[in-house]
């Protein structure tokens, strides 16, 4: 069973306690894995931690440090609760050239990381994580995550100040928001097309970058994800102003003036 601690599209979080209960229930005894690529690191923040209650009951958790822990690309991690099972899955009888013998430098107590993954040759990705934690500390990193979440809330308020032109489509409780430009009386397909164009024009303008997302298989959304410690609320004001400017220009084009019959 896989639960998600923050979906890519909207930042929605599964009921991890409920899933953990279901997995533990006799005779299920299911392996409970959590995809925490985005959200797991938000446990750094005491304010955000309760959103992910139940994560600690997972049999395995995968998460990315290059997303919300601000570590340079790329650095993914997986934790497996049962260390022996983990090792016995990947470990092979030691090759003689690995130097794992009684007489050699590496004792058999020494951890060989290749016993825990598919890789033998591997880079020391942990260094940048360790440096990040040493330089900023968990508390500060948690504060920046809270700031990003607050900025999404701020942008939602900005959207709500323009109800005839903008609408929120979906949001979880973290740093991701799906929204779109709207017009009364416009057909769904045309509105999707307008928003698709808008997204490209925004990217082309260099003002900001929102990614495309489809909700309920038919609704085109612009997806905003804030995970930068330098983002300021004035950046969001500016982004909204430019977005409206571009959208108001676009909707003048004849292809977008088709009114629903």
Ligand X SMILES: *Cc1c(COP(=O)(O)O)cnc(C)c1O
Instruction: List contacts with ligand X (CB under 6 A).
Output: 4, 7-8, 35, 37-38, 64, 76
Least distance (Å) between residue 64 CB and ligand X: 5
The string over 133-147, giving b where at least 16 C-beta atoms fall within 10 Å of a residue's C-beta and e elsewhere, is beebeeeebbbbbbb
- Give the nearer residue to ligand X in terms of CB position, either 132 or 197: 132
Instruction: Of 117, 132, 123, 125, give the one whose Cα is nearest residue 68.
Output: 132
Query: What's the CA gap between 16 and 190, in Å, rounded?
Result: 38
Using left for φ > 0, alpha for ψ between -120 and 50, and beta otherwise, residue 70 falls in left
- Give the nearer residue to ligand X in terms of CB position, either 65 or 246: 65
Least distance (Å) between residue 8 CB and ligand X: 4
- Give the nearer residue to ligand X in terms of CB position, either 64 or 210: 64
Least distance (Å) between residue 37 CB and ligand X: 3
Least distance (Å) between residue 214 CB and ligand X: 16
- Give the nearer residue to ligand X in terms of CB position, either 35 or 44: 35
- Give the nearer residue to ligand X in terms of CB position, either 41 or 247: 41
Least distance (Å) between residue 78 CB and ligand X: 10
* Sheet-wide strand order for 166-171: 166-171, 176-181, 219-225, 211-215
Distances in whole angstroms, Cα of residue 258 to Cα of each of 35, 194, 215: 43, 11, 23
**33, 61 Cβ separation under 8 angstroms:** yes
- Give the nearer residue to ligand X in terms of CB position, either 224 or 246: 224
| Omega of the bond leading into 74 within 30 degrees of 0 (cis) | yes
Least distance (Å) between residue 204 CB and ligand X: 25
DSSP state of 113: G
Position closest to ligand X via CB: 37
Q: Which parts of the chain fold into alpha helices (H)?
A: 16-24, 83-90, 126-160, 188-205, 233-250
């Amino acid at each position: 069973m896989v639960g998600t601690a923050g979906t890519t599209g909207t930042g929605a979080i599964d009921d991890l306690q409920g899933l953990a209960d279901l997995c533990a229930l006799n005779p299920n005894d299911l392996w409970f894995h959590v995809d925490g690529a985005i959200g797991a690191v938000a446990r750094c923040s005491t304010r955000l931690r309760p959103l992910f209650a139940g994560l600690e009951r997972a049999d395995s958790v995968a998460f990315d440090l290059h997303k919300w822990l601000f570590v340079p690309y790329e650095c993914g991690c997986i934790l497996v609760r049962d260390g022996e099972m983990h090792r016995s899955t990947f470990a092979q009888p030691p090759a003689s050239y690995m130097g794992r013998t009684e007489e050699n430098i590496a004792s058999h107590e020494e951890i060989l990381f290749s016993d825990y993954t598919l890789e033998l040759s591997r880079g020391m990705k942990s260094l940048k994580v360790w440096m990040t934690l040493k330089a900023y500390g968990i508390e500060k990193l948690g504060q920046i995550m809270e700031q990003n979440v607050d900025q999404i809330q701020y942008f939602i308020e900005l959207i709500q100040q323009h109800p005839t032109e903008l609408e929120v489509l979906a949001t979880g409780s973290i740093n991701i928001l799906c929204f779109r430009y709207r017009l009364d009386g416009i057909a769904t397909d045309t509105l999707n097309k307008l928003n698709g164009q808008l997204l490209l024009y925004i990217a082309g303008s260099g003002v900001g970058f929102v990614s495309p997302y489809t909700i309920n298989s038919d609704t085109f959304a612009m997806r905003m994800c804030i995970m930068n410690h330098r983002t300021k609320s004035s950046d969001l004001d500016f982004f909204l102003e430019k977005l409206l400017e571009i959208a108001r220009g676009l909707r003048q084009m004849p292809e977008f003036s088709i009114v629903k019959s």
